[in-house]
Amino acid sequence: MNDPRPVLRERVITPHGGFDAFTDAIAAMISDIPQSQALAWRMFLRDTRAMYRQSLLGYFWILLPPLATAAIWIFLNNEQLVSIDTGNAPVPIFVLTGTVLWTAFNMSVVGMQAIMAEARSVLSKVNFPHEALVLSGIGKALLNTMIPALVLIPALPAYGIAFSWSMLLFPLGFLTLVVFGCALGLILVPLSALYMDIGRAVQLGLRFGFFATPVIYALPASGSMHNLLLLNPITAPLVSSRYWLIGSESPFGVLTGITLILSFLALVAATVVFKVTMPHIIERMNA
- Please give the pLDDT value at position 241: 92
- Please give the pLDDT value at position 10: 55
For 46-85, the DSSP string reads HHHHHHHHT-SSTTHHHHHHHHHHHHHHHHHHHTTSS---
Report how far residue 29's alpha carbon sits from residue 27's, in angstroms, rounded to the nearest whole number. Answer: 5
- Please give the pLDDT value at position 80: 73
- Please give the pLDDT value at position 244: 92
Predicted TM-score of the model (pTM):
0.84
Residue segments in the chain with a per-residue pLDDT below the cut of 50: 1, 8, 15
Domain boundaries, the chain: 88-286
Query: What is each CA distance from 47 to 54, 104, 188, 259, 270, in whole angstroms?
Result: 12, 19, 21, 30, 23
Contact in structure between 266 and 243 (CB atoms under 8 Å):
no
